[in-house]
Amino acid sequence: MSRIISGAAGGVRLASVPGDNTRPTTDRVKESLFSKLESYDIIRSARVLDAFGGSGALGCEALSRGAASVTLLDTYPKAVAVIRKNVAAVEKAMGRNGTGSSGATGSAARVQQSQALTYVKSASGSWDLVFVDPPYAVPNEQVSELLEALTPKLAEGAVVVVERSSRDPEPVWGEGLYCFSTRQHGETVLYYVEPDEVEEQAGDESGEDAEELAA
């Protein structure tokens, strides 16, 4: 069972999705991911999209750490039910009365049963932080198609975190996106991506991070 690592709901246990339709991000990877995001000071007051919610662990962690709003998507009905349960637990710990349902009073979270690409194409955006964490069986071509649809809906200074298997090649980022950092954790690789018109602040942080690929 996963847990909220830090923030207003730190320590809250999160329910898992039954079966093998989802691939949860481990707490070790999640801790590294959010530590890096905190170093960019991007989470607090961010508009967040968790495109492949699973149990909702990433979106709930962002909510606990002060995100202004979090939209969590999944196509699997059991996953959507678990996401709603976890969002409710997190918001209860934060002293809110939301339930994670669409339009819930007092809730900063929106949970929707939807395919990520369909939702992104119809949504107005814009997002400051996006998690793209599909099952490893989803091919890179589909990931690239989603990223292409996301690009015009990213806020200035936005960060997209893409989680893939280390056995797969790096996704094609396409026009308008720049991968500025890569971290590997066992069989999991995290790619940190931003709109390429944003200042290349990390300069060559990707070169620096290349040394950490075996971390």
Question: What's the whole-number mean pLDDT along residues 45-62?
Answer: 97
Q: Which one-letter DSSP state was computed for residue 124? A: -
199: left (phi over 0), alpha (psi -120 to 50) or beta: beta
Measured between alpha carbons, how far is 12 from 4 in angstroms, rounded to an integer? 5
What tens digit of pLDDT does each residue of 134-143 get?
Answer: 998 999 999 9
Using DSSP, state whether 99 is helix, strand or coil: coil
Question: Does residue 11 register a pLDDT over 70?
Answer: yes
Mean pLDDT of the chain, nearest integer: 88
Q: What is the pLDDT of residue 169?
A: 95
Measured between alpha carbons, how far is 34 from 65 in angstroms, rounded to an integer? 9
Q: What percent of the chain has pLDDT over 70?
A: 86
Helix axes 27-39, 57-64, angle to 10 degrees: 40
Q: What is the pLDDT of residue 106?
A: 58
Question: Does residue 100 register a pLDDT over 90?
Answer: no
Domains of the chain plus CATH, in order, are 27-210 (3.40.50.150)
The structure tokens listed for 161 are 């975190």
Better-predicted residue by pLDDT, 132 or 27:
132
Question: Does residue 209 register a pLDDT over 60?
Answer: no
Q: What is the pLDDT of residue 24?
A: 79
For the chain, the distance separating the N- and C-terminal CA atoms, rounded to the nearest angstrom, is 24
- The model's pTM is 0.87
Judging by beta carbons within 10 Å of its beta carbon (0-12, 13-18, 19+), is residue 207 exposed, middle or buried?
A: exposed
What tens digit of pLDDT does each residue of 141-168 get?
Answer: 999 999 999 999 999 999 999 999 999 9
Q: What is the pLDDT of residue 26?
A: 86
CA dihedral 38, 41, 43, 49 (to 10 degrees): -100
Q: Where are the alpha helices (DSSP H) in 40-139?
A: 57-64, 77-93, 116-122
Q: Which residues contact 172 (CB under 8 A, 6 or more apart)?
A: 140, 144
Question: Does residue 21 register a pLDDT over 80?
Answer: no
Question: Does residue 202 register a pLDDT over 90?
Answer: no
Question: What's the whole-number mean pLDDT along residues 114-127?
Answer: 94
Question: Does residue 119 register a pLDDT over 50?
Answer: yes
Exposure b/e, 152-165, CB count within 10 A at least 16 = b: ebbeeebbbbbbbe
What tens digit of pLDDT does each residue of 178-196 get?
Answer: 999 999 999 999 999 999 8
Question: What's the whole-number mean pLDDT along residues 101-115?
Answer: 74
Q: What is the pLDDT of residue 125?
A: 77
Whole-number Cα distances in Å, 49 to 95, 104, 166, 215: 22, 17, 23, 27
